[in-house]
Amino acid sequence: MNRPIGVTLLAAGAGLVGIFDLWRAAVFMGWVNWTFIGKSVSFPDPQWGQVVWSLILAAIWFWVAAGFWNMRAYAWSFGIFISLFTLIFGFFAILGSATLEEEFIGMFIALLIFMYLNYPGVQQQFVEHEMSLMTPEQRAAVAQMQTAQAAMTAASRPGATPPPAPPAPPAPPAG
């Protein structure tokens, strides 16, 4: 497989966010404390809600990283979703009790991933690779579906003639 360098960087970035979320879970469990700009961050008791949430996010980021590495089409769409979710979650955490320093790493990498995924041509790389994995029958089915969708779009435009009605089902036998 000829993997572009940008896709490799996407996989590495998603893996870094996953590692960051694992580290954040360790902080919320009270296993790790750290000092950032003179402020100590530690928890004497585990914060189980945040621990579970961080572990779920880490698992999702690792799953997306594997999809990026294999250039799977699901990774492109889900990468957009999870990067936006990470940005929104970090923003609301900052509005709450978190500091910008606590959320910056995850939010910054998620922003870079989101921006790269929306760069022109990136989605097409994932789609082309996914199409290369399909059998000829699957490719024919996709082409037939795209033709049908184009016909439906053309028929739904104002002033277009409606498509012919499907034939009525046969009447049941009298009995």
pTM: 0.74
Instruction: Please identify which residue in the block is written with the tokens 């999809």.
Output: 67
- Most confident listed range (10-14, 93-97, 124-128, 166-170): 10-14
Q: Evaluate if residue 23 carries a pLDDT over 70.
A: yes
Q: Evaluate if residue 61 carries a pLDDT over 70.
A: yes
Instruction: Please identify which residue in the block is written with the tokens 């609301």.
Output: 92
Helical residues (DSSP H) of the chain, grouped into ranges? 5-29, 48-69, 73-95, 100-117, 122-132, 136-155
CA atoms within 13 A on the CB side of 21: 27
